[in-house]
A = this chain, B = another copy of it.
Amino acid sequence: MQIAVVLFDRFTALDAVGPYETLGRLPDAELVFVAERRGPVRSDTGTLALVADKTFADVPHPDIVIVPGGPGQTPQMENETLLAWLRAADATSTWTTSVCTGSLLLAAAGLLKGRRATSHWLALDFLERFGAEPTGERVVVEGKYVTAAGVSSGIDMGLTLLGRIAGDEHAQAVQLLTEYDPQPPYDAGSPQKAPAHLVEEFRSKSRFILT
């Protein structure tokens, strides 16, 4: 089973590495990082580069497509090379998935029309503009389309999909080996739980940035 993780300039690293570390541990998985060009691709902070080992053209028919998000997603919304690859890959994929604002790229490619989907909490409104039905859930499985909320939610998505594909026990084994027994020191991981002034601060900043 071939799994393609998409990279583009200024992606968010954990968006990509969460599913890689979980779903990539499927038995017999051939996981490959793909981008427009081979070579290092810088993340949003500028301090980390992940290597794309293959180009989109090298991997036309992955079984699973994983699209991360990040601030670099915005210019990709008009990158016809990426969008055309997503459409073509989706035509034969078993699962088409995203983490964070990666769902906006699936939506821009026309793949989420009329479908329930999620995204980073700051980006949910944008999903609607592309005809998707945004939900605030952490992982949304809608047929073969699996979308996850912000950044760290890709770990939950990876385990969810691992369970569907390889069975609960295999997913539990990967959870145990990655010791995913979360104990965050705060309970501020969603807009419902975080201090209201922080939520408001980010909402007003993002309106400025994203619209």
Binding site for B on A (CB under 8 A): 12-14, 17-18, 20-21, 24-25, 30-33, 40, 45, 47-51, 53, 100, 120-121, 138-139, 149-153, 155-156, 159-160, 163, 168-169, 171-173, 175-186, 188-191, 193-195, 198-199, 202
Contacts and interface: CB of A to CB of B under 8 A. Distances in A.
Contacts of A53: 47, 49
Given A121-B179, A176-B202, A190-B176, A171 B195 contact: no
Contacts of A14: 17-18, 20-21, 178
Contact of A188 (B24, B151, B172, B185): B172
A31 to B, nearest CB: 5
A180 B48 CA distance: 20
Contact of A180 (B17, B189, B198, B202): B189
